Structure 1
Amino acid sequence: MSAAKHYLTDPTHAVLSSLNSLTKTNPSLLFDEKNKIIYRNPSSLKSPTHVSVVSGGGSGHEPGFAGFVGEGVLTACVAGTIFASPAAEQVRTCLQHRLPPESEGILVVATNYTGDVLNFGMAVEKARALGKKVEMVVVGDDVGVGRAKSGKVGRRGLSGTALVVKICGALAEKGVGLADCARVGRSVVSNMVSLGASLSRVHVPGKGVEEAKDEEERLGHGLVEVGMGVHNEPGCFQMKSDLPNLIKTMLGQMLDQSDEDRAYVKIESSDDTVLQLNNYGGTSNLELGAILDEALAQLDKTYGIKPKRIIQGTLFGSLDGPGFILTVLKLSDTDLGPGKSLLSAIDAPVNAVGWPRCVSGETFETSYKPPAEKREDEREEVKPSNIRLSQQRLRSVLTPALNKVVAAEAEVTKYDTIVGDGDCGVGLKRGAEATAKTIDEVKSDDIMQFFAKLCPTIEMSMDGTSGALYAIFLNSLASNMRSLSPSSPAEVTVKMWAEALSMSIQGLGRYTPAQPGDRTLMDALVPFVNTLEKTGDVKQAAAEAQKGANHTKGMKASLGRSVYVGGSGFEEVPDPGAHGLSIFLNGIAEAL
């Protein structure tokens, strides 16, 4: 069948119908269509107090991850559109309303792609700010892109993610706590290598025939693309080769310790391992079996590796891609005692349609009682704190600073037109105007009431990466400020602000590698926070923020949209995000 031919031409309908079908093939599941969440029916949970494991990402990777929802793997999955991360609001709804409230905690597993990390991370911080116990594991297992090229971004997440959710899900099912589930998940990531190869690009439903033809012709006949991603990303190189030489090349990139750029994990013949062969979706089972046989033969002959377990099938697909991904996992000790090793977690029974085992007959025969209908309040209940910030003080300090940001829109837009996509000024203006309105809605001097209004306002009013970063940072700030709440009501101090801001900078590092020197808003934010923590002087801290923003003139971008914008002009203008933030911070300093 030509890649231009599909049974469904509407990608939205395809995603929703596919997700809805899971409730038919596994009757223990429920589907929140509005938020594209597949989750376990509460009445099917044998131990609702155990850790909930949540994953997700763009659609088009079926059966991962919606097909892994079920006993022994995931509690819920949040899906985006094809090859696009779900929105943070979808994930937040899942964490707040689609998991058992009595759960000991929530483990979120996300693949290492910017959209997934930011949107899942934003939801995680919002859940933490509301008192939820949440840990997040980011999976990067690809060796196709080496250290030199991947830089701060790190390894991409490939089908090794399936092993992470399988292991963590099995441990959670056995009652292992949140901290240990997260620790083991991160250990699995650090001991795993994966590499993909494909004969052609994939075709997304809804694309025209000519566009599909162009996609197919990007890779010449007889060529294999090694290191290809799961979203149609190009590989690291193309080669014309038979299967034995292809497997030899791939295993070399995965296991050769002399390749310093890709020697991410040292795996020796004495190590216990698991081999996973994942189908992109368009490789026949006949060829997949032959690929597995060749890989096993070369692992034994060349590396002396005899895997303890072998998993083959379509676990993390790429639509109709005629390719595959090899993954080797080195088994380490979980330190959790008998019956809770990595191997036993992989062997543990599963009741999910996507894992290569059948759903039990008992599932189909059981009549599950649906949960009682309940109306969800759009505004989450906010736990009170003892930190006070008077409404008058809030208004007198923030309003002038926000007005300065609004007034600077044209200037920031001009800068962003030169080095970005021209939307930074408008985004900051929208956020400032929405925040100004929010100030008038605050009816309490409890600072957590202010954050409860501010955080969703920023998320809904600001777009793009900057909006996500601000939202994550502010939710983290709310959580950290709550942790500083005294035993009795007291006015917020500069010292408390400094400490909470410093902790939030560290928290932001979980979702972005940006640091001063990368030409981002961090060039203004970090000097401000560091100076405030050191001196307690807001005016001096704001001055350092302005210096940091000015210093970005001529600085080559390491992250953000500016990385992809060619030409010159960045030598004469500061980073728009850092400049806009410094205007706001200096506005606060002037109002004090």
Structure 2
Amino acid sequence: MSAKHFINDPTHLVLTALRSITLTNPATALDQDNKIVYRRPDSSYSSQVSIISGGGSGHEPSFAAFVGRGLLSGAVAGTIFASPSAEQIRRCILERVDPEKGVLVVVMNYTGDVLNFGMAVEKAKANGLDVEMVVVGDDAGVGREQGGKVGRRGIAGTVLVQKIAGALAASGASLKEVHNVAQLTADNVVSIGSSLSHVHVPGRSDVETSDLAANEVEIGMGIHNEPGSERSTGDLSAIVKQMLAHMLDPDDKDRAFLSVSKSDETVLLVNNLGGVSVLEMGGITSEVVDQLLSNYGIEPVRILSGTYMTSLNGLGFSISLLKLTDLGLSSGKSMLELLDAPAEATGWSAAINTKTWQNKGDVTQEQKESDGVEAKASNLTFDPALARSALTNALNRLISAESDITNYDTIVGDGDCGTGLRRGAESILSLFKESSSSSGDAAVFLDSIISVVEKSMDGTSGALYAIFLNALAHGLRSQSGAQPEPATVKVWANALESATNSLSKYTPAKRGDRTVVDALSPFVDTLSKTGSVKGAAEAAGAGARSTKGMKASLGRTVYVGGEGWQSVPDPGAHGLAVFLIGLSDGLQ
């Protein structure tokens, strides 16, 4: 693994890489502030379902270089290996693509991506748009037991879902048809990756010290530098044999996610993780094709080999197999026909035609006003001065606890939970200082806080809080009447229950999974039953403490593990409990 790069500033690297797409494909444009690449409006193309995807940078040509006719309408980029924020995604849906025929969001199964894209989808729906989402989890490197509630990660098979959905959308199909076909494709693809080395992220001073030995390969490696499921010292033949067994062995009940027989038509994708030479990729592809035929009797009707979804310059490759299935479309189009359809995107193996170059222009999507839905009053009144005072007490408590939360998260996670919560708390306090006036309407007051949280907090915790708070505001408004009335504890409890139910659509976390829900759920349940904020906060504290020694069922620890987790609480649950106890004390 090399720690040397031509561009060491990760922010500059991402922005210039995104700009390069617009230089090589004149049909695309860049919203630099939100890191969105999107198709330029063109009157010669009829309106169609828009396909949006995205994720952390470092996976190029996925996703931005897949923007173009016949594939994606827009792609949203995060920083390297980090999900884009819900605000970036929301702006892509509402401002950068054509929503007239509906929008389909295709996202890989990573917690941050699912939460942030999910929250943006909900915001778009609140604005009256017709939006659907498909989550792709094709990685056989993560078995059922290890993946648990998290499920399989999304890797290179995702590009086949995007290509087929994009081609169908370009043909004029409805959102319902495109959504169904995308989901069917996702359900029929399986993948696995392997690598000879971890990668170094530009701008990071740390260097991987536990890299693989010269004769080792990591099988089941993810695309974010995650460790694989096992290490092997075999040659290419043995490595491919083990990878295909994880994908196709019907006797491996932990990994037999897709049943493929000799009679099934299939598409094979051999994907370069970024650092394998074209010459060596040819040898790898031949080995995969030969073993599929000799060991499984599978002879793919289409073989794609190249660079589609990378892990920076990862010295590895992945194998994806798609089982072709009848789509049941009235048009009679098949998966294979849609896969073969031309796509005018630089990341796909298709040239940009002469007409597109001749039509090169500077037209961009006009800015649209999309921030009005949150301002709707709920007719639920409360004391804003008391709320500000109690929140200030709670937020200051949270800021003081940042070092403990960071320490806990360093042990069991990636160490950013405390700083993310502190950043959100400080931003809300700044809002209070900058604006002395506050609405006496509970939902409108909450909207101002939501706006700050969405802009200041990123990552998984930011997405969780943003989804929950948006759902909380909706829960308040759903109880509003024609005349103003007080926002009682019962009203808040009902809204909290509604928000908890909404959050469960985007995370399977339950009490006992060692997550923030271990503090949230006792708080909501106790408040609903007793009407006591103090009692509910105490229940949240007890729930957070109960996570000590609790084995995680969700989150990064499921994949990566960690040492010392038995002696510390879940950092997210601890942080929420600190906040809720501070809020309770401030209301006394």
Q: Would you call these one fold, judging by a TM-score over 0.5?
A: yes
In structure 2, the residue corresponding to 1:195 is in which secondary structure?
A: strand
- 2:141 partner amino acid: G
Q: What pairs with 1:101-500 in structure 2 (closer than 5 Å)?
A: 102-205=99-202, 218-368=211-361, 370-371=363-364, 380-382=371-373, 387-390=378-381, 393-395=382-384, 398-399=387-388, 401-406=390-395, 408-409=397-398, 412-413=401-402, 416=405, 419-420=408-409, 423=419, 426=422, 429-430=425-426, 433=429, 441-443=437-439, 445=441, 449-462=444-457, 465-479=460-474, 488=482, 491=485, 500=495
Contact residue 279 and residue 288 of structure 1 kept, 8 A: yes
Match of 2:79 among 64, 78, 81: 81
Shift in CA distance, 81/411, structure 1 to aligned 2, threshold 3 Å:
closer
Deviation at 1:449, TM superposition (A): 3.5
Deviation at 1:355, TM superposition (A): 0.9
Match of 2:577 among 576, 579, 588: 579
Unaligned runs of 5+ in 2: 411-417
- 2:511 partner amino acid: P
In structure 2, the residue corresponding to 1:387 is in which secondary structure?
A: coil
Deviation at 1:380, TM superposition (A): 1.5
CA deviation vs aligned residue, 1:340-386 (integer Å, no higher than 9, x gap): 43223212221111112222222112244614765x66x82237757
CA deviation vs aligned residue, 1:164-199 (integer Å, no higher than 9, x gap): 111221222223333443333233223221111223
Shift in CA distance, 342/587, structure 1 to aligned 2, threshold 3 Å:
farther
Shift in CA distance, 307/388, structure 1 to aligned 2, threshold 3 Å:
same
Which whole-Å CA distance do the structure 2 matches of 1:405 and 1:103 have between them? 43
Q: Does 1:547 align with 2:539?
A: yes
Contact residue 142 and residue 155 of structure 1 kept, 8 A: yes
In structure 1, the residue corresponding to 2:78 is in which secondary structure?
A: strand
Contact residue 526 and residue 536 of structure 2 kept, 8 A: yes
Which whole-Å CA distance do the structure 2 matches of 1:452 and 1:181 have between them? 34
Contact residue 378 and residue 444 of structure 2 kept, 8 A: no
- 1:258 partner amino acid: D
Shift in CA distance, 341/504, structure 1 to aligned 2, threshold 3 Å:
farther
CA deviation vs aligned residue, 1:236-264 (integer Å, no higher than 9, x gap): 22222233222211110111121122122
Which whole-Å CA distance do the structure 1 matches of 2:16 and 2:357 have between them? 20
CA deviation vs aligned residue, 1:111-152 (integer Å, no higher than 9, x gap): 222332333233333333333333222222111122222333
| Map of 1:27 onto structure 2 | 26
Q: What pairs with 1:47-66 in structure 2 (closer than 5 Å)?
A: 47-48=46-47, 50-66=48-64
Shift in CA distance, 203/363, structure 1 to aligned 2, threshold 3 Å:
same
- 1:54 partner amino acid: I
Contact residue 39 and residue 75 of structure 1 kept, 8 A: yes
Which whole-Å CA distance do the structure 1 matches of 2:402 and 2:229 have between them? 36
| Map of 1:521 onto structure 2 | 516
Query: TM-score, normalised on structure 2?
Result: 0.85
- 2:127 partner amino acid: L
| Map of 1:512 onto structure 2 | 507
CA deviation vs aligned residue, 1:294-315 (integer Å, no higher than 9, x gap): 2222222322223232222211
Contact residue 386 and residue 489 of structure 1 kept, 8 A: no
Deviation at 1:564, TM superposition (A): 4.2
In structure 2, the residue corresponding to 1:346 is in which secondary structure?
A: helix
Count of aligned pairs between the two proteins:
574
CA deviation vs aligned residue, 1:38-81 (integer Å, no higher than 9, x gap): 11001266133x22111112222111111100011110111123
CA RMSD of aligned residues (A): 3.5
Query: TM-score, normalised on structure 1?
Result: 0.85
Percent identical pairs in the alignment equals 45
Which whole-Å CA distance do the structure 2 matches of 1:312 and 1:429 have between them? 48
- 1:183 partner amino acid: N
Contact residue 387 and residue 489 of structure 1 kept, 8 A: no
Deviation at 1:428, TM superposition (A): 7.1
Which whole-Å CA distance do the structure 1 matches of 2:355 and 2:571 have between them? 66
Deviation at 1:107, TM superposition (A): 1.7
Shift in CA distance, 42/206, structure 1 to aligned 2, threshold 3 Å:
same
Contact residue 409 and residue 570 of structure 2 kept, 8 A: no
Unaligned runs of 5+ in 1: none
Deviates more, 1:454-463 or 1:541-550: 541-550
